[in-house]
Amino acid sequence: MSLHKKIKDKNAHIGVIGLGYVGLPLAVEFAKAGFNVTGIEIDENKISAINNGGNYISDIDDSLMIDLVKKGKLKATNDTSIISELDAISICVPTPLSKVNEPDVSYIIKSVDAIKKYLHQDFLIILESTTYPGTTKEVILSALEESGLIVGKDYYLCFSPERIDPGNEIYNISNTPKVIGGVTEDCTKIGQSLYSQIVKDVISVSSPEVAEMVKLLENTFRSINIGLANEIAIMCEKLSIDVWEVINAASTKPYGFMKFTPGPGLGGHCIPIDPLYLSWKMKNLNYNPKFIELASEINASMPEHVIETLKKALDNNHKKLKNSKILLLGMAYKKDIDDLRESPSLDILYLLNKNNAKVEYFDPYIPDFIFDNSKKSGLVDLNSEVVKGFDGIIILTDHTNVDYELIKNNASLIIDTRNVYPLNNDKNIFRLGVGKSE
């Protein structure tokens, strides 16, 4: 039976390497569509959770997870020999940056080593991990060519950028268009055939490099525009005007403007990191990507700006940051999720510790986490007495299930980086991007 027919009849056995924020939702979507899916993961806790019907990704419905596992449609393992039984596999492993902001594709390389060992005919490989243009061919194809099998004939290789947006209640895998680019035309056709089983619109492009660049353009676009919004916010502070009022008014224009808002910095695995992958690649080609560098510099400086704002606000209350009791409200990188990856709240926590402040945090989605090699636990609840006990509260993540009125009525000082209190002129509230007249 041909691979195309197996896919069409949903008889193909699908594998997913890496069962995190990208891989597990993808595995669930394939299983929900009727495929038998095996996830390959090194984390024993995740493997155990999945095989027992447990779920650790908030965007996945718990009852759906239990149902798929009970039906035998979804399972997890750390045994890579299962690759020999698979018809298709998607690589969804992390692609972090090194300490010197260079791409770390070691997880992709480890995945390819496993695939190479069990590579067989009529096998589809799709890389979803975000990386620099050229990775699919330079890292994966070059390694698999040693097998003697011919790409586009014996096996198929594509790149398809993930478009997962944690916490988005409108767009998910099925209704978000999927871009795919294969090494050959037949690779693209097979890849499109597979993903069209779970995604309404699959957009084919001419090569893996184009598909790789698509992902980097998407997030570089966002990084640069957020950087612009952050710089405009600082300008508005110096001009003693309200950046949020400016942005809201500008967004009434029905063409030629897209709304981006400032914040305490960039978070998540994509926006702070992806543009630097592109920047690294271009520097290797002797080109300096000025927009990317400038936006990254501005966005990375926002935690420092928040700390300086806090210092000035405390000074108004005749207090110093040293030994002040500070509450961080929200540690996740965006509202209503439990994702800490690259969160600017972590940078602000680091800076506060460096300034010898006494720091606690409250986040209903993150009860505890590891910071600086030790466990940090959040406050269980907020009440008026607890709020009154802090010298300053910094709102870093605007979770919807927080009583902001209670905080407003009891806090001696609030630094609002998310415009939780729009058009507020209270003397104890300092809003990011809003200048206060002397």
Q: Using an 8 Å Cβ cutoff, are 392 and 357 in contact? A: no
Nearest to 140 by CA among 121, 131, 127: 127
Beta-ladder partners of 156? 124
CA distance 372 to 82: 37
Nearest to 352 by CA among 380, 310, 315: 310
Nearest to 298 by CA among 324, 271, 277: 271
10 Å Cβ neighbour count for 323? 11
Active site residues: 270
Q: 3-state class of 321 per DSSP? A: coil
Q: How far is CA 77 from CA 47, 55, 63, in A?
A: 6, 15, 21
Q: How many residues does the chain have?
A: 438
Compute the C-alpha angle 229/234/236, nearest 5°: 90
| Sequence-separated (6 or more) residues with CB below 8 Å from residue 75 | 37, 38, 39, 50, 51, 69
Burial of 350 (0-12, 13-18, 19+ CB in 10 A): middle
CA 9 vs. chain centroid, Å, equals 33
Strand order in the sheet with 74-77: 74-77, 36-40, 13-17, 88-91, 123-127, 155-159, 178-182, 202-205
CA distance 279 to 283: 6
Nearest to 328 by CA among 304, 306, 302, 297: 306
Amino acid (one-letter) located at 304: E
Q: 3-state class of 208 per DSSP? A: helix
Nearest to 331 by CA among 397, 243, 286: 397
